[in-house]
Each structure stands twice: as structure tokens, then as C-alpha cells.
Amino acid sequence: MIKRYLILTLLISIGFATIALAMTEHYEEPLITHEHTIIAHRGANDRYNEHTLTAYKIASEDGVDYLEIDLRMTKDGELVAMHDETINRTTNGTGKVSDYTLNELKKFKTVSNFNNKKVTEEIPSLREIFDSFSKKENFYIETRLVNNQLVMEEKLLELLKEYNLLDKDRVILQSFSTKSLDKIHSLAPDLPLTLLIKKGKFDLNKAISSNYPIVGIESTNITRRIVENLHKNGKLVHVYFINKKTQKAEQTRMKTLQVDGYFTDYILYTKGL
């Protein structure tokens, strides 16, 4: 009887030890990498002026999943591809986008230098981008408030409808503004939306409880715990980068964390991950 008891005790102990070991191994096992979405941030801006038709053409030829476009609205209500509130940084002009009509903006040129050569190209309207790429490319478009008002959302959706792009497989819309995202959802409930969160402002509980299927987070705010918890709650994680100098190293780190998408300034590098 004692012998049987000892054997039973030993078997139970081995069983518990095996379970504990399995749990430990599962916890420490690195995440399995998977296919990620490549989003051409402002086009192929490492090889041509950001937010230009040529930058988007290069990105298209690279075979990206989405062309990313930041929107600004002109004085006469047209949508153009421009990140900043002003044209100071990227063009040979100065002033706010909203202070110019589209025709007035067309008088300026985007300006940059590549391979010690000055490169110029005009500022494209969203319509021009759609004219060039709507038949073959997908779009990841950022909206924002205009003078604290919800005015660009309807214009954007009208253009998407005109170009047969009101398609959840062709377009994702993103914003730091929940007001803008909610407005879009009320008008086009089938389009996927990304809630962008500013660097240093990420709150896991708020991200989990949000109504948006995708969360856009700055890379240095991302940890394995954050990615795992967002995935467990059905959220996709798309990462953006502020510091170009560390971006490639951060992309490599993001790969080990199994993020779902990259807003990349280095398309060819990201494709090689």
C-alpha cells in the first residue's frame, strides 16, 4: 500500500512539473512572425519628394500594400496630399495650405535633394492621385479637423465613391481625431478605421476599449505585452516611426513583436524583413 502511494505521489508530482514546465516554455517562447502590411508612408519618400505623384509611382512599382496619404484642405475646399499645416518645409513657398486655393497652391513646387540633385514637383490633389493609381493601388488615408471643424470627411468619401473606392479591401482611413473617425463611420460604416495615438500618449485600456479595429502606435511606445494584449482583444497593430535614424533598427524590433503593419519610410528594407 505504501509503495503504491509513493508511486502515485511521484506520478502526480511529475505531472505537475510537466505542466509547469510547459507553461513556462509557452510564456517565454518568442512570438511567431507573420506576414505584415507594408504602408508606403508619404510614398517612397526616401527616393523622391514626399507626397508627390512620382513618390507614389516608385512605391507602387515597389509592390507595397497601401499608399499612405496625409490630407489637407485648401481654401476652396479641395483635398491635397500634404502632411504639415503649412507648405514651408516641403515646398518653395510659405503659408498655410488652408490660405490658398488649389490653383494658387499649384504655383508652388515641392523641393528636395536626392543624390546631390535638386528635385522639384508640384503638389498633387487627391483627385490627381486617384486618377493615377485608383485602378491598381490601395490607399491608407489620414484625415484631420480643419480649423477644428469636421469638413474634409464628406469630401473624401465623395471622392472615394466617385472612384469606386468605398471598399474595405481597398481603403483604410486613419486619424488622431476620434471625432473624424466617428464621422466617417457614420457615413461609411464598412470602411476599416485606424485610431492613431500620439507618441507618449498610449493607454492600453483605452486602445482595447476603442471601437476601431486598428491601432496606430509610435514604435518606441510598443512592447510585447502591448501587442499581445491588443491581439487578444481583436485589434491589429500598425506602427509608425518618428525618428528616421533609428527606424530600421526599430522595424527589426517590431518584427520580433509580431506587429501587423509598418508605416515605412524605407520600403525596400521593410520588404526584406
Tens of pLDDT along 184-229? 999 999 999 999 999 999 999 999 999 999 999 999 999 999 999 9
Q: Of 26, 36, 41, 238, which one is the catalytic site residue?
A: 41
Are 230 and 246 part of one and the same domain? yes
Pair 16, 98 in one domain: no
The answer on 255 and 225 residing in a single domain is yes
| pTM strictly above 0.75 | yes
Residue 13 is predicted with a pLDDT of 47
Same domain, 150 and 259: yes
Same domain? For 11 and 60 the reply is no
194 within 8 A of 260, measured Cβ to Cβ? no
Question: What was the pLDDT predicted at 35?
Answer: 85
Quick one: 254 and 156 in the same domain?
yes
CB 262 within 8 A of CB 270: yes
pLDDT of residue 24: 34
210 and 134 within one domain: yes
C-alpha cell at 103: 490653383
Residues 3 and 108 in one domain: no
| Beta bridge pairs of residue 44 | none
Distance CA 191, CA 51 (A): 23
Residue 26, pLDDT > 80, answer no
Residue 83 confidence class, pLDDT cut points 50, 70, 90: very high
Range in 3-12, 99-108, 243-252 with the lowest mean pLDDT = 3-12
Q: Which of 36, 51, 83, 238 is catalytic?
A: 83
Q: Tens digits of per-residue pLDDT, 48-78? A: 999 999 999 999 999 999 999 999 999 999 9
Q: Are strands 171-175 and 214-218 parallel, antiparallel or unpaired?
A: unpaired
Instruction: Look at residue 239 and tell me whether its pLDDT is greater than 90.
Output: yes
> Rounded to the nearest 5°, which phi and psi values hold at 109?
-125, 140
CATH number at residue 201: 3.20.20.190
In a shared domain, residues 147 and 110: yes
pLDDT band at 11 (very low <50, low <70, confident <90, very high): very low
Give me the chain's average pLDDT, please: 90
Asked whether residue 155 carries a pLDDT value surpassing 70, the answer given is: yes
Residues 183, 143 contacting (CB under 8 angstroms): no
C-alpha cell, 201 = 500618449
Residues 74 and 4 in one domain: no
> Is 36 tagged catalytic?
no
Please give the tally of structural domains in the chain.
2
**pLDDT tens digits for 86-144?**
999 999 999 999 999 999 999 999 999 999 999 999 999 999 999 999 999 999 999 99
Q: Are residues 25 and 39 in the same domain?
A: no
Q: Which domain holds residue 18?
A: 1-30
Phi-psi category of 116—alpha, beta or left, where left has phi over 0 and alpha has psi -120 to 50? Answer: left
Q: Give the whole-number percent of the chain exceeding pLDDT 70.
A: 88
Same domain, 98 and 141: yes
The reply to whether 41 belongs to the active site is yes
Question: Would you state the pLDDT for residue 34?
Answer: 63
